[in-house]
């Protein structure tokens, strides 16, 4: 599948490089996105009540990233 098609489907795959531009300016930048593993988000996902939430991980493994990040707060990085 081409990059263009993936972007048009608006998919964020687990481990995808994303740019965070949400409500915490000090955290803006590049992160690795994974599905939020906390019990609340997983439970919401299972019953289909909420939009998917993501946990963001530092690509260099140095900083703890934000959790429960909304899809609208991240954009798939064109560099990935």
For position 69 contacting Zn ion by CB under 5 A, the verdict is: no
For position 41 contacting Zn ion by CB under 5 A, the verdict is: yes
Nearest-approach distance from CB 1 to Zn ion, in angstroms: 28
Q: Residue 45 belongs to what H/E stretch?
A: helix 39-47
Largest Cα–Cα separation, the chain: 34
CB within 8 A of 32, min separation 6: which ones? Answer: 15, 16, 17, 18, 56, 57, 58, 59
Q: Which of 36, 56, 69, 74 binds Zn ion (CB under 5 A)?
A: 36
For position 71 contacting Zn ion by CB under 5 A, the verdict is: no
The binding site for Zn ion (CB under 5 A) comprises 36, 38, 41, 67-68
């Amino acid at each position: 599948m081409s990059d263009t098609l993936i972007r048009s489907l608006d998919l964020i795959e687990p481990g995808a490089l994303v740019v965070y531009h949400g409500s915490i300016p000090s955290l803006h930048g590049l992160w690795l996105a994974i599905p939020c593993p906390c019990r609340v988000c997983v439970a919401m996902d299972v019953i289909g009540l909420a939009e998917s939430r993501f946990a963001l991980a530092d690509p260099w493994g140095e900083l703890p990233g934000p959790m429960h990040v909304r899809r609208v707060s991240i954009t798939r990085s064109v560099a990935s």
